Amino acid sequence: MLEIRFHGRGGQGAVTSAELMAQTAIGMGKFAQAFPSFGPERRGAPVTAFLRISPKPIRIREKVYEPNVVVVLDPTVMNVTRVDQGLKADGLLVINSHRTAEEIKKQYGFTQKVATIDAMRIALEILKVPITNTVMLGAFSKVMGEATPKDVEEPFNHRFGGALASKNLEAFKKAYEISPTEAGL
């Protein structure tokens, strides 16, 4: 079973990210569950969302305490939360940052593998808003091999519809096509 934890801030799409990947996995014939964990429920407050993907039914009904992967939508969250807490020793952090993976590892003392992508730049370029969730899903899918742009089409269309779905799919594809900078991958 693959367990993923998403870190972001309210309004950035961390919960939507987990839900979209769960729908994608289910559409691919896998089992999945996605759910959020909120602190103070307000825009901009730290938000955590959880995702499990498995080829077998999932019986666990609790937070993800020891994820295989952590996806960080907003790098400022790393200044207030230990995003690597509980991350398995062979785990992976996929981080939205214009900085290199090596720089991030050095600053935060991460010992696990790190992949970075400038998701904010891509989001502003394509979506014209600072919401990085579908960009980060593209980066996550690229490094983990969990889904292709074709796999996410239906969940994106269902969630966003019309032109918004097309723009989010374009953002996903852009991140999927470029290789995130990697440290120890």
19/76 Cα distance (integer angstroms): 23
Q: Which CATH number fits the domain that encloses residue 14?
A: 3.40.920.10
**How does strand 92-96 pair with strand 31-38?**
unpaired
The model's pLDDT over 18-67, given as tens digits with 9 standing for 90+, comes to: 999 999 999 999 999 999 886 555 677 889 999 999 999 999 989 999 99
Is residue 7 a contact partner of residue 70, using CB atoms and an 8 Å limit?
A: yes
Host domain of residue 77: 2-183
Note the helical H segments in the chain: 14-27, 101-108, 119-126, 133-144, 149-160, 162-177
| Confidence (pTM) | 0.93
Q: Can you tell me the distance from the alpha carbon of 51 to that of 5, in angstroms, rounded to the nearest whole number?
A: 6
Tally of domains within the chain: 1
Reading the chain (185 residues) residue by residue, the pLDDT tens digits are: 999 999 999 888 999 999 999 999 999 999 999 998 865 556 778 899 999 999 999 999 899 999 999 999 999 999 999 999 999 999 999 999 999 999 999 999 999 999 999 999 999 999 999 999 999 999 999 999 889 999 999 999 999 999 999 999 999 999 999 877 775 55
